[in-house]
Amino acid sequence: MEKLQKNIDYHFSDAALLKQALTHRSVNKNNNERLEFLGDSILGCVISHELYLRFPLVDEGQLSRLRSSLVRGQTLAKLAKTLNLSENLVLGQGELKSGGFRRESIQADAFEAILGAIFLDSDYLTVSAVILKLYDGLLNEASPDDSLKDFKTQLQELLQKKGRSLPMYELIKTKGQDHNAVFYVSCHIKEFNLTVEENAKSIKRAEQACAESILGSLSSL
């Protein structure tokens, strides 16, 4: 875990907190779910504050959509990969056999859990500095103009422009307990015989992820 702490640029006083942040619920009850809950809230607060300061003339709706793009599961998973976080995950036998260390949702959850662990190990200002450093490139590239239309709206308008039928979204399954459920949603485009499946902590987020994925696929057709 020394390499991971170097990548994060934070060294834990209590190494047990970091170990717990990396422990999936498939292992035991001393897992990262509560830390993930804490980290999710802290991340949202830090990013919200930073966007508020960076874009003083932007309205609440655009700020909210821009924040959502920065804290969604796919973004967290990408950041987790830059830290080689998967190499340090502690998984149960079932998740190990199914390749859980490669699953984006597990990496994203562990990323948030680490932020919660840093907060408990230090304080808000310290974890805020860690987050802003990890997000430096993404924040510098962020533009409110990119958030004017969400992915579902963009996809709907693109299909309407091409004279195609609208996408069909369907909730496939839900995993986990109510307070920490993960929703699996599929999206199907009939004319293109194209179906994708994504998951997130809310149905709306999962639908947005599906729409983003399909927009990427259609751009290559």
Catalytic residues: 40, 112
Cβ atoms of 63 and 51 closer than 8 Å: yes
Question: Which residue, among 163, 167, 176, has the nearest Cα to 202 in the 3D structure?
Answer: 176
- The C-alpha atoms of residue 117 and residue 114 are separated, in whole angstroms, by 5
Q: Which helix (H) or strand (E) holds 193?
A: none
The alpha carbon torsion through 172, 178, 179, 181 (nearest 10 deg) reads -20
**How does strand 168-175 pair with strand 194-200?**
unpaired
Say how many C-beta atoms besides its own lie within 10 A of residue 8's C-beta: 19
